[in-house]
Chains A and B, each alone.
Chain A
Amino acid sequence: MNQETIIKINNLTKRFPVGEGEFTALKNINLEFFKGEFSGLVGPSGSGKTTLLNIIGSLDSPTEGEAIVLGKQISKLSHKESALLRNKHIGFIFQVYNLLPVYTVFENVEFALLLQNIPSEKRKKMVNDALEWVGLSSMANKKPDKLSGGEGQRVAIARAMVKNPEIIIADEPSANLDAANAHAILKTMKQMNKELGTTFIFSTHDEKVMGYLDRIIHLRDGMVEEDEIINVNHAP
């Protein structure tokens, strides 16, 4: 199969200053992600999953080595360029949803499009489409505090996918959800992955999530322990 590389990580090391010394959270990571992958970072707490996702998402930068995302070298991006990369090409889904509390569901989803100066008619259509994807069209005018956990995470998914990004980064998206809701959002994301070709990278401890992944990268102590390609075509 002719696979297109979308993310390339070369000899990446990440160290954090801790007190007087340093803590090495990622050690010499080499990884490649391909377009359309539905992959996940799995490993014990503290193994560096979030740290790696943050670097890929250009929220953080490597101490050594490089991360090339969509052809852009993360450590070389200016604030403006990395903001643009996140705004247009990378969607984030967080464990605790991170919805903006004073905005309605519609406005939360609309936010990234506002930053892109998309005209209001088109914006409206895009937001409504995204809400339809996650099955929340009827909740458009609600405030986040009126939503259940499952609904909140679906809004976050709509917000990540509304701009039709190449990559969606989901850091433990199911950690606060019950089994039924976890399965529901994973099905939605898997469907997006199939129909829209969006590349997903998860981080998770959750067996349920792992069941959906095509590829599982096992991290331990900041190193890749195993890179497991699962060649099953899940259609649960």
Chain B
Amino acid sequence: MKLAFQLAYKNLIGAGLRTWLNVGVLALSFIIIIFFRGFLEGWNHQAIRDNIEWELGAGHLVHNGYDPYDPFSILDGHGRLTQEQQVDLFPVLVRQASLYPEGRMLSVALKGIDGQQNLLELPTASFTSSNTKIPAIIGKNMATSIDIKEGDEILLRWRDKGGTFDAANVTIVKIFSTNVITVDKGQVWIPIQKLWEMTGLENHASYYVANENYTPSSLEGWNYKTKDDLLSDFYKLMEMEKISTSFMYLLLLAIALLAIFDTQVLSVFRRQKEIGTYIALGMTRSQVVGLFTVEGTMYSLFAMIVGCIFGLPLFWYLHTSGISFPDFYQDMGVSFPTRLFPSFGIQLILTTILLVVVSAAVVSYLPARKIAKMNPVLALKGKMQ
């Protein structure tokens, strides 16, 4: 085995340009695969972190009647907890309402949240810094869609305690920028005390947001969902994304491996005389098969080294400085950060290397197998077809 490595090494170095072309193609696919996987992983981590920081906290204690995906559940999906039951929780009340930007009507989720909270990133402190009657904060996406600026007023209509419509102007005191589209698009945040007053639902909440200290206990009519429960759809999406993107990696890998395969097929054909000579000098055919397989596999080992030389500094740089994206992407309504920090785990790099090396070994072995059936006499004559 050691001998096969020595000989394969000499053969590859001796082959010059052909070797470095294959190595180059492989190294490039190493880098691209690792880069994209790292990019995706970084994006996912960031999305999870953002969701927790902007919306989820440690979890939500949700009223059994409330389903965030079902607007009809908003009407009755609320209730109240006693003061003692609310330790390490703060309430969020959701109502349906309409905005009237420039004469149009826009259905929104009107959410009451405590201006004192500092668990979520939502800039609720802006409520108190303003003297307006109904201060509201909205996300940038929302602001763009209704074409409104900080300080502007807009007409809001909601149902009061009697179920009849009421209307008033709200003042946009703050427009925040977030990657979490679910707190932005179609959402208007106002102080919860105000919303209680407006709707007569004193101390009611659709859900409570928990902080890290909260210990869930079973409460009649309420259901505690940890942040992981709440993210389960996202996790599923991540899995699907992994599967669909792995097709891309496989394609990329296939192209790189094709280069090795091609070289191997050609080698077995063109180097018959050499193969015959190896056998005449006392190698068994399986040793020659081994030699050719090691040669092909060695492309991937060289590629790994080359990839590390060029890739590691690049990955390190991207990981620490991040990649910045123009606001453009947020404006398209994609949950996309302005600065993304790809994460290149050891595991990611090692599995990619393993994948490439193993598949290189396989595609090297397949054409080399032909050698085992070669007639050494014909090989020496170079007459095999």
Within 8 Å by CB of B280, from A59, A79, A84, A116, lies A59
Within 8 Å by CB of B3, from A94, A114, A159, lies A114
Task: Flag whether B376 is at the interface (Cβ < 8 A).
Answer: yes
A92→B250 CA distance, assembly (Å): 46
Task: Flag whether B274 is at the interface (Cβ < 8 A).
Answer: yes
Closest CB in chain B relative to A112 CB, distance in Å: 5
Please determine whether B282 and A84 come into contact, CB atoms closer than 8 angstroms: yes
Given contacts A102-B11, A103-B10, A79 and B282 within 8 Å (CB-CB) = no
Task: Flag whether A179 is at the interface (Cβ < 8 A).
Answer: no
Please determine whether B377 and A83 come into contact, CB atoms closer than 8 angstroms: no
Within 8 Å by CB of A60, from B3, B13, B284, B377, lies B377
User: Please, which residues of chain B bring their CB within 8 A of the CB of A102?
Assistant: 10-11, 13-15
A60→B377 CA distance, assembly (Å): 7
User: Please, which residues of chain B bring their CB within 8 A of the CB of A100?
Assistant: 274, 277
Task: Flag whether B321 is at the interface (Cβ < 8 A).
Answer: no
Please determine whether B280 and A57 come into contact, CB atoms closer than 8 angstroms: yes
Closest CB in chain B relative to A90 CB, distance in Å: 8
Q: How many chain-A residues does the 8 Å CB contact rule pick out?
A: 25
Q: How many chain-B residues does the 8 Å CB contact rule pick out?
A: 25
Q: Mark B1-13, 1 if CB is under 8 A from A, else 0.
A: 0010011001101
Interface SS of chain A? helix
A57→B279 CA distance, assembly (Å): 11
Please determine whether A107 and B380 come into contact, CB atoms closer than 8 angstroms: no
Task: Flag whether A80 is at the interface (Cβ < 8 A).
Answer: yes
Closest CB in chain A relative to B11 CB, distance in Å: 6
Please determine whether A59 and B284 come into contact, CB atoms closer than 8 angstroms: no
- For B10, B15, B277, which residue has the most chain A Cβ atoms within 10 angstroms? B277
User: Please, which residues of chain A bring their CB within 8 A of the CB of B13?
Assistant: 102
Task: Flag whether B283 is at the interface (Cβ < 8 A).
Answer: yes
User: Please, which residues of chain A bring their CB within 8 A of the CB of B380?
Assistant: 59, 94, 98
- For B6, B10, B279, which residue has the most chain A Cβ atoms within 10 angstroms? B279
Cβ < 8 Å to A, chain B residues 306-357: none
A111→B6 CA distance, assembly (Å): 11
Within 8 Å by CB of A80, from B3, B274, B284, lies B284
A79→B372 CA distance, assembly (Å): 10
Among residues of A, the one whose C-beta sits closest to the C-beta of B285 is A79
User: Please, which residues of chain A bring their CB within 8 A of the CB of B286?
Assistant: 79
Please determine whether A112 and B377 come into contact, CB atoms closer than 8 angstroms: no
A114→B377 CA distance, assembly (Å): 23
User: Please, which residues of chain A bring their CB within 8 A of the CB of B285?
Assistant: 79
Please determine whether B15 and A83 come into contact, CB atoms closer than 8 angstroms: no
Task: Flag whether B112 is at the interface (Cβ < 8 A).
Answer: no
Please determine whether A98 and B282 come into contact, CB atoms closer than 8 angstroms: no
Please determine whether B277 and A115 come into contact, CB atoms closer than 8 angstroms: no
Which residues from chain A sit less than 8 Å from chain B, CB to CB? Answer: 54, 57, 59-60, 79-80, 83-84, 86-88, 92, 94, 98, 100-103, 107, 111-112, 114-116, 159
Given contacts A87-B283, A101-B14, 4 further A-B contacts (CB under 8 A): A57-B280, A84-B282, A102-B11, A107-B10
Shortest 3 CB-CB contacts between residues of A and residues of B? A87-B282, A102-B14, A83-B284
